[in-house]
């Protein structure tokens, strides 16, 4: 399945609020650990290696890291 990069969340604002709420009150280390678990859970749900590679690529080529 090709990676879906168009708007797909049922309710974007609710998801974003849930995401922040999950990190509420956590230390930096706890938040990092939670993010890592979340990535692994979502990756398993997607399952398909090609889609995941596309997602990694999309993440790697946006944002400040993509300096050139």
Partner 1 sequence: MNKIFEVPLYPYARSEDQDAAAPVRRKVVIIGAGPVGLAAAIDLAQQGIEAVILDDNDKVSFGSRAICFAKRPLEILDRLGCGQPMVDKGVQWNLGKVFFGDRKVYDFNLLPEEGHKRPAFINLQQYYFEEYLVQRVRDLQAEGAPIEIRGKSKVEAIGTHPDHVALEVETPEGSYTLEADWLIAADGAGSPTRRMLGLDFVGRVFEDNFLIADVVMDAEFPTERWFWFDPPFNKGQSALLHKQPDGVWRIDLQLGWDIDKEEEKKPENVIPRLKAMLGDEVQFELEWVSIYTFQCRRMEKFRHGRVLFAGDSAHQVSPFGARGANSGVQDTDNLCWKLKLVIDGVADEDLLDSYDYERVVGADENILNSSRSTDFITPKSDISRIFRDAVLDLSEHHAFARPLVNSGRLSLPCTYDYSPLNSTDTLPEAPARARPGSPCPDADLGTGSGYLLDQLGDRFTILALNCVAAPLSEAGLDLDVISIAAPPGSDLAARYLGLAESAVYLIRPDQHVAARWDGYSETALRAALRRAIGKEQ
Residues that bind partner 1 (CB under 8 A): 32-33, 36-37, 39-41, 44
Q: Which is nearer to partner 1, 14 or 30 (CB)?
A: 30
Q: Which is nearer to partner 1, 17 or 46 (CB)?
A: 46
At its nearest, how many Å lie between partner 1 and the CB of residue 46?
12
Residue pair 34/23 in contact (Cβ under 8 Å)? The answer is yes
Q: Which is nearer to partner 1, 9 or 29 (CB)?
A: 29
- The torsion angles phi and psi of 64, rounded to 5 degrees, stand at -70, -25
* Helix (H) or strand (E) run with residue 21 in it: helix 12-23
């Amino acid at each position: 399945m090709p990676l879906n990069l168009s708007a797909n969340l049922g309710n974007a604002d609710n998801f974003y609020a849930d995401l922040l709420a999950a990190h509420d009150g956590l230390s930096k280390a706890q938040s990092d650990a939670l993010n890592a678990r979340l990535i692994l859970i979502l990756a398993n749900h997607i399952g398909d290696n090609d889609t995941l590679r596309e997602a990694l690529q999309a993440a790697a080529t946006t944002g400040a890291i993509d300096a050139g």
